Amino acid sequence: MTIATLAKTTKQVPLLFEGLTWREFTAVDRLLDRPGYRLSFLDGVLEIRQMPGEPHETVKARIGALVELYLLMAGFDFTPTESMTLESEIGKVKREADKSYKLAPGKSRPDLAIEVVFSSGGIDKLECYKRLKIPEVWFWDDGLLAVYHLRGYGEDLRYEKISESEEVPGINFELLLRCINMVNHVDAIKTFQQSIEKD
């Protein structure tokens, strides 16, 4: 039996406005606080993205359901922080992940940020997360998953691409990706759960 997978979509390009101060950015951010748009900021560059709709939301919800199922079954005491706004005036950065998680009680910021990419170009997302000191970032893009873990200290912070999660140890990325890319949501959840239970 062949399992149907999600179709690739055309990527949107965000609007970029350069040369803004943090104060100007926060004024624009308040003015454009409307559903369907997401604003990010890095080093004076304002990025405005229109949310791409159902395909993006479907993948985002699928990833969330699978990751949360794994976290529950693996015994994590986690808190979903969804698209929590993360910002730093000192770091000149504002970003909202598609999904984010605190993986233990008492954390002030998420341990894991997940981006579902349906656009191209724009500001450097990894640089944003580095300045926000998010330990691990996952990118789903055209059916593939790239995982980055924060390394170093102080001025020497950098992301390293990794093949196994350090924040969510034991999660099988091959299985996760296969289930993310399945067309039927219920089949994807059942397949993922059954495979975890066998291990």
**pLDDT one-digit tens code per residue, 167-198:** 999 999 999 999 999 999 999 999 999 999 88
Q: Domain range for residue 84? A: 52-198
Q: Give, in order, the Cα–Cα distances in Å from 179 to each of 64, 114, 151, 161.
A: 12, 16, 29, 22
The residues, any chain, with a CB within 8 Å of residue 138's CB and separated by 6 or more, are 112, 113, 114, 115, 145, 146, 147, 148, 165
Domain annotation covers residue 12: no
pTM for the whole thing? 0.83
Distance CA 45, CA 24 (A): 11
Out of 2-11, 134-143, 173-182, pick the least confident: 2-11
Residues 53-101: tens digit of each pLDDT:
788 889 999 999 999 999 999 999 999 998 888 888 888 999 989 999 9
Domain count, the chain: 1
* 10 falls within a domain: no
In a domain, 35, yes or no: no
Q: Which CATH number characterizes residue 185's domain?
A: 3.90.1570.10
